[in-house]
Structure 1
Amino acid sequence: MKACILAGGKGTRLKHLFPDTPKGLVPLGGKPILEHQIDLLVNAGINEIFLLTGYRGELIQEYFGSGEDRNATLHYLQEDVPLGTAGAFKQLEGKVSEDIVVLYGDLVVDFDLATLLAFHQKQKALATLVVHPNDHPYDSDLLEINEECDVLNWFPKNNRPDGIYANLVNAAIYVFRPDIFSWIPKGCTDFGTDIFPLLLQKHQKICAYRTSEYIKDMGTEDRWQKSSHDFESGLTARRNLTNPQRAVFLDRDGTINRDVDLLCDMTQLELLPRASQAIRQINNSEFLSICVTNQSVIARNLCDLGELQQIHNQLETLLARDQAYLDHIYFCPHHPDSGYPEERAEYKINCECRKPNTGLVLAAKEK
C-alpha cells in the first residue's frame, strides 16, 4: 500500500509565528509536522509516500530528500497553480494501482492505522473517511451516517444551511480504492466541496471510520499551541487505540440537560448550567467523554429512532456552541414492562443494555 500527503498549504494563519514556512514544516515537538506523519506511515508498514507540495515545496524536498534515511521512498509532485485537494491528488492517476491512504499535511495525528485499514477492507467501500467530533464543527465539513457506517449526507462547511447537525466531522484522512481517480476531473477541484457530494449523488459507497484518537488541525495559532502542549505532555500518543483508554461516563437527562419526564422532542432539550464547561474540561483532559442513557421513549412509542437522533443532534449542537463535545452517545431503547396498547413490543424486553446493567459501558469498551 502507498500513501499520499497533501502538503501544499501556505500556513497563512501561522505566518506570525513561522514566516515564509510551508505548513508541513511547522515544528511540533522539535521536528516538522510532516515528519511525524511520515513516521506514522512507515511504522505502519507504508514506505512509499507521495508528497504533493505547493508553497515553498522546494524547502520540503530539501528537508526530506529521498526519504532513505527514514526507511521510506518519497516522491514529490509540485503544483504550479493551486489545484484543490482532489485536483492535486489527481496527479497520481496512473501511478497508483492499489488502495491508498491520504492525509492532509496540517494534521497532528497519532492513530492505529492498521485498524483503519482493516475497517476499509471489511466495508469494501470506494472511500473510507475518518470522522470524529471536535470543538469547532462550525468550520468543518459534517457528515450523517447510519448504523452500518455508510455516509448518507455531506454538509460542506462553506455551503451548509443553518440547522441542527450531529457533531461528526470529516477528519481529513481517507483510504481510497484506485478507481477513485475516475470520479475526479482534471483541474481545480476539492474533495469536500466537489467529489464527496458527487459520489453520494451517484450512490457510490462511502464509509465513515469513527475514532476518538488524536487527530487535530493545527492551522491556527491557538490550535498549534494546543497541539504542541498535547504532544509534549504525551496525550497525543496516549490517545492511540493501541493503548488502554480512560473515560468519564455521563448520564444524559439530569446530568447534561434538564430532566424532562420522557423527553421526546428536541425542542424540550435544554442544557444544564455549566454542563458545557464541565464536558469541555473532560475534553481537555486524559479522559474521553461518553454519554450512556436509558431512552425508553422508543419502547413507549413516544418517538422513533430518527427523532431520538434529532434530539442528540440538538444536544451536540448546543454543546458545540460552547466548544464542547461528547466522544460518543450510547443509548438503550428498551423497557422491561409490557402490555400497553401503544408500546413497541419489539423493544419491550429485558436487556443487558438498560442501566444499571453494564451493556452500554461494555459496548463503549468494545468500540
Structure 2
Amino acid sequence: MKIVIMAGGKGTRIAQVNATVPKPMIPIEGKPILEYQIETLKNQGYTDIILIVGHMGNVIQEYFGDGAEFGVQISYIIEEQPLGTAGALYFLKDEIKDDFLLLNGDIIFDVNIQKFLEYHCKQGTVATILTHPNSHPYDSGIIIADEKKRVINWLHKEDERLWYKNRVNAGLHMLSPRIFDLFTEVKKCDLDRDILKPLIKDRELSVYDSPEYIKDMGTPDRYYAVIEDIKSGKVSAKNLKNKQKAIFLDRDGTINKYVGFLTDINEFELLDGVADAIQMINESGYLAIVVTNQPVIARGEVSVGELQEIHNKMETLLGQSGAYIDDIFYCPHHPHKGYEGERPEYKIECECRKPKPGMLFAAAEKYNIDLRESWMIGDGENDIEAGRNAGCKVCSVGNVEIENVPRYDSLLECIKTVLEKR
C-alpha cells in the first residue's frame, strides 16, 4: 500500500518553536517529525512513500533523498504554487490504483495501520477517516457518525453546537482510488471541506474510531507535550498491537450525581473533581472506559437516541475541562417483565448487565486490554462484582462500604491513589 504524506505546510502557529525549517522538519529530540512518521510506517512494513512538499520543500528533499538511507522508497510531488491540503492529489490520479493512506505531515502517531486498512476495506466507502477523542474538542471539528459508522455530519469549529460526542478527525485517512474522480483539474482545494465532507450525502465517508496515540504539532503547547510522551514511551505503548490497560468507570454516582433512574438530560451533572480525575487517566496512558447499566431503555423511559444525547452532554462537559472518555459501553437490558411502557426486545437475561462482566469483556476484545492490569471503579456492589468477575482490580467511591474493597470519597482521590500504585 502506498502512503501519501502532506508535508507542505508552513506551520504559522508553531513557527515560534522553529521558523527555519518547514513544519514537518521541526525536530523532536534531535529528529524531525517526518522522520518519526517514516520510522513508524517502516516498522509496520509500509515503505512506499510519496511526500507532497511545497514551502521549503528542498529542505525535506535534501534530508530524505530517495529514502534508501531510511529503509524506504520516497518519491515527491512538488507544489509549484500552494494547492491547499488536497489539490496536489490530482497529480496522483494515474499513479495510485489501490487503496492508500493519506496523512498530515505534522502529527506524531503510532497506529495499527493494518487494522485500519482492513476496517476501511470492510466498510467499502470512498474514504475512512480515523477519529479519536481529544483534550480540546471545543476548538476542533466534530465528526458525527451513525450506528454503521457512516458520517452524517461534520461540525467545523465555527459551527454552532450544544452537546456532542468528542470525536475529531485525527489526520489519518484511508482512501479508495475512487477519490480521484473528484479531481478534474489542478486547483487549490481543502481536503476536509471540498473533498471529504461532500461524500457524506452519498454515505461514502466512514469513521474508524481508535484510542491510539495521535497528536498534531499545531501549537507550541502540543509540541512540548508530544516530546514528553515520546520520552515516556506512551506513544508506542498505545498502539493496539500492544496490550492495553484500562480504568473502567461506572457512570451514575461515580461520574455524575446520582438521581435514581436518570431520564432527564437536565439532571445530568458531573460530580466535583471528576474531570480532573479523568484527565489524570488520559495522561497516564490508561484507557478511560465507561461501563454502565441503563435499564431505562428496557423500561421505555429513555430512547437509545436520548441516552446518546445524555452521553454527549457528559463528553462535552468533560471536554470543556480537557478530559475525555475513550469509549462508553452500556447495557440496555432488564430481566423483569410485565411493566407498562416497557420494550420487550430489551427485557431479557443478558451477559452484559453488571454484575456480569460482559461489557468489560467486550471492551477487552475491542481494545486488546489486559484485564488483570486494569481497574473497575464504581459506587455499588454490582460494579465491584463485575470487575472481580472480569479479573480486574477494584475500588469503590461514594458512601457505600463494601467488604474488603478500598473506598474513597471521590473519584479524584481514588484515581490519585490508583495511579500511585502503578
TM-score above 0.5, yes or no = yes
In structure 1, what is the Cα distance between the partners aligned to 2:90 and 2:359? 43
Contact 2:14-2:217 at 8 Å conserved across structures = no
Q: Secondary structure at the match of 1:222?
A: helix
Q: Could you tell which deviates more after superposition, 91-100 or 183-192? A: 183-192
Q: Secondary structure at the match of 2:275?
A: helix
Contact 1:247-1:289 at 8 Å conserved across structures = yes
The AA in structure 2 aligned to 1:83 is L
In structure 1, what is the Cα distance between the partners aligned to 2:136 and 2:184? 31
In structure 1, what is the Cα distance between the partners aligned to 2:138 and 2:83? 25
Contact 1:86-1:184 at 8 Å conserved across structures = no
Contact 1:127-1:175 at 8 Å conserved across structures = yes
Q: What corresponds to 1:300 in structure 2?
A: 299
The AA in structure 1 aligned to 2:215 is K
Contact 1:167-1:320 at 8 Å conserved across structures = yes
The AA in structure 2 aligned to 1:208 is V
Q: Secondary structure at the match of 1:90?
A: helix
Quickly say closer, same or farther: Cα 1:357–1:302, change in 2 above 3 A. Answer: same
Contact 2:151-2:203 at 8 Å conserved across structures = no
In structure 2, what is the Cα distance between the partners aligned to 1:185 and 1:364? 44
Pairs within 5 Å for 1:131-170 = 131-157=131-157, 159-170=158-169
Q: Could you tell which deviates more after superposition, 257-266 or 50-59? A: 257-266
Contact 1:141-1:192 at 8 Å conserved across structures = no
Pairs within 5 Å for 1:26-65 = 26-65=26-65
Q: What corresponds to 2:90 in structure 1?
A: 90
The AA in structure 1 aligned to 2:121 is Q
Q: What corresponds to 1:259 in structure 2?
A: 258
- TM-score, normalised relative to structure 1: 0.96
Q: Secondary structure at the match of 2:35?
A: helix
Quickly say closer, same or farther: Cα 1:358–1:9, change in 2 above 3 A. Answer: same
Q: Secondary structure at the match of 1:264?
A: coil
Q: Could you tell which deviates more after superposition, 265-274 or 243-252? A: 265-274
Pairs within 5 Å for 1:1-367 = 1-157=1-157, 159-184=158-183, 186=185, 187-201=187-201, 203-367=202-366
In structure 1, what is the Cα distance between the partners aligned to 2:264 and 2:216? 34
Deviation at 1:29, TM superposition (A): 3.1
In structure 2, what is the Cα distance between the partners aligned to 1:356 and 1:191? 46
In structure 2, what is the Cα distance between the partners aligned to 1:17 and 1:191? 26
Q: Which 4+ residue blocks in structure 1 deviate beyond 4 angstroms?
A: none
Deviation at 1:146, TM superposition (A): 2.3
Contact 1:126-1:204 at 8 Å conserved across structures = no
Unaligned runs of 5+ in 2: 367-422
In structure 1, what is the Cα distance between the partners aligned to 2:84 and 2:19? 23
Q: Secondary structure at the match of 1:284?
A: helix
The AA in structure 2 aligned to 1:336 is P
In structure 1, what is the Cα distance between the partners aligned to 2:199 and 2:316? 27
Deviation at 1:185, TM superposition (A): 5.0
Deviation at 1:17, TM superposition (A): 1.9
In structure 2, what is the Cα distance between the partners aligned to 1:165 and 1:184? 32
Larger Rg: 2
In structure 1, what is the Cα distance between the partners aligned to 2:182 and 2:199? 8
Q: Could you tell which deviates more after superposition, 24-33 or 274-283? A: 24-33
Backbone CA RMSD of aligned residues: 1.3
In structure 2, what is the Cα distance between the partners aligned to 1:181 and 1:91? 10
Deviation at 1:85, TM superposition (A): 1.4
Deviation at 1:205, TM superposition (A): 2.0
Once the two structures are aligned, what percentage of the paired residues are identical?
Answer: 46
The AA in structure 2 aligned to 1:81 is Q
Contact 1:123-1:207 at 8 Å conserved across structures = yes
Which string of whole-angstrom CA distances, capped at 9 and with x for unpartnered residues, describes residues 199-257 of structure 1? 112x1422111111100112211101110000011010100111100011111111111
The AA in structure 1 aligned to 2:50 is F
Deviation at 1:263, TM superposition (A): 1.0
Deviation at 1:337, TM superposition (A): 1.1
Which string of whole-angstrom CA distances, capped at 9 and with x for unpartnered residues, describes residues 296-349 of structure 1? 110011111111111111110111100100000110001111110210011111
Q: Could you tell which deviates more after superposition, 125-134 or 177-186? A: 177-186
* Number of aligned residues: 365
